[in-house]
Each structure stands twice: as C-alpha cells, then as structure tokens.
Amino acid sequence: MRKQFLNLIQAVCGVAVLALGGCVKDTATRTYSYTIHEPVYKTTAEVRANIKSNTPVPLQAPGKLYIRGNYIFLNEIDKGIHIIDNGDPAKPVNVAFIDIPGNLDLAVKDNLLYADLYTDLVTIDISNPLSAKVVKVTDNVFPDRVYSNGFQQDPTRIIARWIQRDTTVTHKIDFNNRGRRDSQTSLLMTFSSLDASGLKAGSSSAPIGISGSMARFTIVNDRLYTVGERELTVFNISAPAPFQVSKKTVGQSIETIFPFKNKLFIGSATGMFIYDISNSSNPSLQGQFAHVRSCDPVIADDVNAYVTLRTGNRCRGTINVLEVLDITTLSSPRMVQSYPMTNPQGLSKDGTTLFLCDGKAGLKIYNASAPNNLILLKTLTGIETYDVIAYNDVALVVAKDGLYQYDYSNLENIRLLSKMGLVK
C-alpha cells in the first residue's frame, strides 16, 4: 500500500514538472515609456547669420543675467539671450531675443556683449539693442564644452533646438541569457543635465555691466575672464575682436567667478580660489579655502567672502549652509561663521545688506554689519530663487517661475515692483 502511494506521488510530481516546464517561455517582452529630446540641426552659417536682435520670445528657462545701463540681458538656457528694457523697473519690457544655441554665459562691456555658443565665443555689438549684430566669432576657445546631453560636436552643423516627444520601446528579454541585451532594442536617449541658475535703470554709468554670482564670465578693465570645468581663461578685449592670452588649470569642478578690485574669487565644488590679477593677462593664485564637496557660488568685499554650499544631484553635496570667511589675509582665508540654510544658491551684497537666494525657501535679506552675527531682516517666500543682483535699491531676482524686481529702499517695507513670468 505504501509503495503504491509513493508511486502515485512520483507520477503526480512528474506530470507537474512537465506541465510547469511547458508553461515557461524562453523569451518575453517588456514595454517602456520614455521622453526623447531629438536634435534639430542647422548649418553653422545659418546659426551665425541668425545671431541678431530677433522678435522677443517669452521666458521659459531663465539662467544667468547681466545688467548694463537701461537694459537687462538674461540668458535663456541653451537658446540665447533676452534683451529687456528696464527703463522703468516696475514695467520692464521684453524687446528682443538674440538666438545663440548652446548659450549659458554672458558678459557686457561698453557696447559689446560676449557670449558662448557651445565651444565658440561670440562678440555682439549692442550699441543699438534692437539691432544687435555679430562682430566676431572666435572658434573653439571652449573645447571642453559639449552638448549638455552628450551629443558630439559637428564642425559643419549645430544643434539649434530640441524637439521633445514621448515614445515607447519594446525590449526583448531572453531568459536563457538575461545578461545579453537584444541589439535591435537599443535606443539612444538624451536628457538635459542643466540646473534649472537689481538695477534702477540708467543709474549706472560704468562701462562694465554687473553680473550675478552664478556667472562664469566676468570682465575687469580690458580683460574677459572665463572659467570652465578646470581652467581659467583670459581674453584680451581691448579691440572688438577678442583673443586668448592665457589659460591655466585652477582645479576641478569650477563653477563661478566673481571680481573684486584686482582679485578674482573662483568657486568650485571643493573650495574657493583667490587669484590676483595685478598682471591682468597672467592671474596668480594668492589663496584658497577648502570645503566639503558642494556647489559653491561666492561673492566678496574688502574683508569677507560669502560662500553658499548646497546639495543637489549635480552638486553631490551633503550640507546646505552659508559660510562667511575672513579674507583680510588673502593667502590664508579663515572661517568666521557658518549659517544653516535650505538650499542656498546665488547671493549679492549692497553695503551692509546681504541678499541670499535660498531655493524654495525664497529670498532672504540680512543685516551683514557684523558678518559673525548676521541678522535676518526679512524672507520673501512663495518663490524658488536662483540668483540675485542687488544694486541702487532694486533687487533683480531670477526665480524658477520668472524674473522679479523688488524695491528695497526701505528695508522695513520691501515691495515687489514687477514680475516677468514664464510661458511654457
């Protein structure tokens, strides 16, 4: 009886194994949904011919900004530069757009605007902002610049814009060789890797404009200084056609540059560098201050440097703080005080008033009379801030949803003058 029972169990198990084996397939398919950014190319000649004052376009992804006289020059990430007439900060007017594919940075001196076009440096005559025109294109001076999503540079064509579309792809899974991908399902996917980065117009007669703290271009006298991933490059701009005079390695993950008198303060993911530019064509390292890995915009005055450190996917940082450094001895900056923040980014200082963009926490305004004891005067909430220029009682703020201007002539009653919103 026991033997018959065991035979029955063996038979059932055998049938079950055969049935199970018959149900298992060697392959299967899986469908994924993606967002694809497809490049739209134009010839180099077509792109350069269109670098001029074109019809104004709405703000969509504002980045770096520069102010000069009555005008704001605001970067539209990877696309070009908005020209905004700021004759009345309460009623700014978007008057023109200069199409510059791949543009991220800019600087202005006199009637010339300098901007990057991927690897090239473009010099533009803005003596009439409504009729801007190219003066010179200096080729391949930023050789390390690549398309933000990894596409290779083409010497005959330039990616002028991107078309975004949703798609699906079916992937074949081979259960007999799960480590091998079906070559027919391979698809190149591209994604942007960019972060999302004040003037009472006519009040400044200085020939050189004012940049935000997130800038990677700056001008001192007749030199244009730019920073790349590792290097500091110097261009002579005494004539309309700029030319490179020097380049030197600074460090790694260089992010921002800020001029003060005859010094350059360079922010990187690992520290701040101070360069002396008494010899304008050959900057020399004068001091540095190391910090934990983090994004690092910096501004400075005669006594202190103000550095914001933040977390984020690109920054890979671990802290969100404002650090105040004593730079009276430039060769050895030292920490004065550290202040916890939410996600600090750009900053600006007017006299003893410090303005700090703290990401989603808004714009914070401090009394900085005593840098070791900053006093928070006010927080403007409801905006996600990126960069700020504070000058002559007007704070110009680049935010996630547009361009704001605030009157801070009365610090007890800071009021919104205008907002230029985004159009998606």
In this model, does residue 183 exceed pLDDT 90?
Answer: no
Amino acid 16: pLDDT:
43
d(CA 291, CA 286): 17
184 three-class SS: helix
Stretch among 9-23, 28-42, 91-105, 175-189 having the lowest mean pLDDT: 175-189
d(CA 293, CA 268): 9
d(CA 77, CA 148): 11
Contacts of 39 (CB under 8 A, 6+ apart): 151, 159, 162, 190
Amino acid 146: pLDDT:
61
d(CA 319, CA 294): 7
Q: 52-87 burial, b if ≥16 CB within 10 A, otherwise e? A: bbeeeeebeebbbbbbbbbbbbbbbbbbbbbbbbbe
Amino acid 189: pLDDT:
32
Contacts of 33 (CB under 8 A, 6+ apart): 166, 167, 168
Give the model confidence (pLDDT) of 349-390 as tens digits: 999 999 999 999 999 999 999 999 999 999 999 999 999 999
Amino acid 166: pLDDT:
66
The token pair that represents 301 in the structure block: 């005055």
What is the arrangement of strands in the sheet containing 120-125, beginning at the earlier edge strand? 106-109, 112-117, 120-125, 133-138
d(CA 9, CA 32): 44
Instruction: Pick from 199-203, 226-230, 401-405 the range whose average pLDDT is largest.
Output: 401-405
Strand partners, 298: 307
Amino acid 403: pLDDT:
97
Amino acid 219: pLDDT:
97
Amino acid 236: pLDDT:
98
Amino acid 182: pLDDT:
35
Task: Please provide residue 19's backbone torsions phi and psi, each rounded to the nearest 5 degrees.
Answer: -65, -40
Least Cα distance to 249 among 233, 231, 264 occurs for 231
Mean pLDDT of 33-47: 75
Amino acid 311: pLDDT:
83
Amino acid 73: pLDDT:
97
Higher pLDDT residue, 2 or 169?
169
In this model, does residue 86 exceed pLDDT 80?
Answer: yes
Task: Please state the pTM of the whole predicted model.
Answer: 0.80
In this model, does residue 241 exceed pLDDT 50?
Answer: yes
**Mean per-residue pLDDT of the chain:** 83
Share of residues in the chain with pLDDT > 70 (%):
75
Give the model confidence (pLDDT) of 301-318 as tens digits: 999 999 999 887 565 667
Mean pLDDT of 148-168: 64
